[in-house]
Amino acid sequence: AQKITQTQPGMFVQEKEAVTLDCTYDTSDQSYGLFWYKQPSSGEMIFLIYQGSYDEQNATEGRYSLNFQKARKSANLVISASQLGDSAMYFCAMRDVDAGNMLTFGGGTRLMVKP
Amino acid sequence: GAGVSQSPRYKVTKRGQDVALRCDPISGHVSLYWYRQALGQGPEFLTYFNYEAQQDKSGLPNDRFSAERPEGSISTLTIQRTEQRDSAMYRCASSPDRGRDEQYFGPGTRLTVT
């Protein structure tokens, strides 16, 4: 069974500063994928970034980077130069390759960017 | 191009009524997933299709829930004899290649059972 844990229910960050959102996972699979999604107050689910378990380099997408530490089973999201529009819920998810590629989500972290 | 669309966006129904929720995936996407999201929580898997074949329905809570995707495109999630505990956001996602790429989510259907 898979499990995704996001230990920070809510976080504040000052505008223009960097912030790290924690995500740890538990799986016995060797092949898996890790995702981060953003859910603003409008309710949509916006894909941010993806990391494959065999990728040697950390994924980056603009201001988003994924700090992947395989031995620790962590996949933290780093947002650089926070903007007011970054205020939202952030979900970490893992893809179960052996079970149809459905996503298992963590409980989410609510990020609030202060002006 | 158009993203994943879902209809209706909001549905209020009385306990005991049947509801049908529709998902129109991105054109050409092979895989279609249904998730349910309670307020303040992450989405939970319900079922998924590759083309028209339902591959896994292990996440469906009970036999009042069913889903179909008869022509490998549009999908319908049906809840029979709705109960208040069925109230949630129901989300559909599609993926181009059996989920090996990112899943693109629709806006969701907010279901309220009174």
Please write the tens of the pLDDT for every residue from A67-99: 999 999 999 999 999 999 999 999 999 987 776
Q: Which chain B residue lies closest to A33 (C-alpha atoms)?
A: B100
CB pairs under 8 A between A and B: 57
Q: Which chain A residue lies closest to B46 (C-alpha atoms)?
A: A102
Q: How confident is the model at residue B98 (pLDDT cuts 50, 70, 90)?
A: low
How far is Cα A17 from Cα A28, in angstroms, rounded to an integer? Answer: 36
Q: Measured between CB atoms, does B92 come within 8 Å of chain A?
A: no
Given a contact cutoff of 8 angstroms between Cβ atoms, the answer to whether A64 and A36 are in contact is yes
Given a contact cutoff of 8 angstroms between Cβ atoms, the answer to whether B22 and B7 are in contact is yes
**Distance (Å) from the alpha carbon of B109 to chain A's nearest alpha carbon:** 10
**Distance (Å) from the alpha carbon of A86 to chain B's nearest alpha carbon:** 18
